């Protein structure tokens, strides 16, 4: 009978990918705070800010309008798509 290898299980959460804590730069920290957090939490906080400040375009919910705090995050653009927003926000995160 051949030896069976058992898979190792760990209770420690993964520290890679989307769960790795990322540090927002000063521009993004003005919107979501400066504590390191996973990208998923960054996205959640951006959406909370957008909804709280009514920044979704009513005619096209996929478009986010920038206010004074978000405009620097969006590279000076007045409005971006939700997909472009994620790309622009990632540029303000460091490991």
Assigned domain for 61 exists: yes
Assigned domain for 65 exists: yes
Token pair recorded at residue 72: 């620097």
Assigned domain for 15 exists: no
What CA–CA distance (Å, rounded) separates 21 from 15? Answer: 8
Domain residues for 66?
20-94
Assigned domain for 69 exists: yes
| pTM for the whole structure | 0.79
* Ordered DSSP codes for 49-91: HHHHTT-B-SS-TTEEE--TTHHHHTTT-SEEEHHHHHHHHHT
Assigned domain for 14 exists: no
By residue count, the chain amounts to: 95
Are 65 and 79 in contact by the 8 Å Cβ rule? The answer is yes
Q: Which pLDDT does position 17 carry in this prediction?
A: 72
Assigned domain for 39 exists: yes
The CATH number of the domain holding residue 75 is 1.10.245.10
Q: What is the pLDDT of residues 13-64, one digit of tens each?
A: 556 677 899 999 999 999 999 999 999 999 999 999 999 999 999 999 999 9
Identify the residue with better confidence: 13 or 76.
76
Assigned domain for 13 exists: no
Token pair recorded at residue 91: 């540029």
* Count of domains observed in the chain: 1
Assigned domain for 12 exists: no
């Amino acid at each position: 009978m051949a030896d069976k290898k058992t898979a190792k299980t760990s209770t420690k959460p993964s520290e890679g990918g989307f769960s790795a804590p990322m540090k927002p730069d000063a521009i993004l920290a003005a919107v979501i705070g400066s504590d390191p957090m996973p990208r998923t939490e960054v996205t959640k906080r951006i959406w909370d800010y957008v909804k709280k400040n009514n920044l979704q375009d009513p005619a096209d919910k996929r478009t986010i309008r920038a206010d004074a705090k978000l405009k620097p995050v969006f590279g000076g653009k007045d409005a971006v798509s939700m997909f472009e927003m994620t790309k622009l926000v990632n540029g303000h995160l460091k490991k």
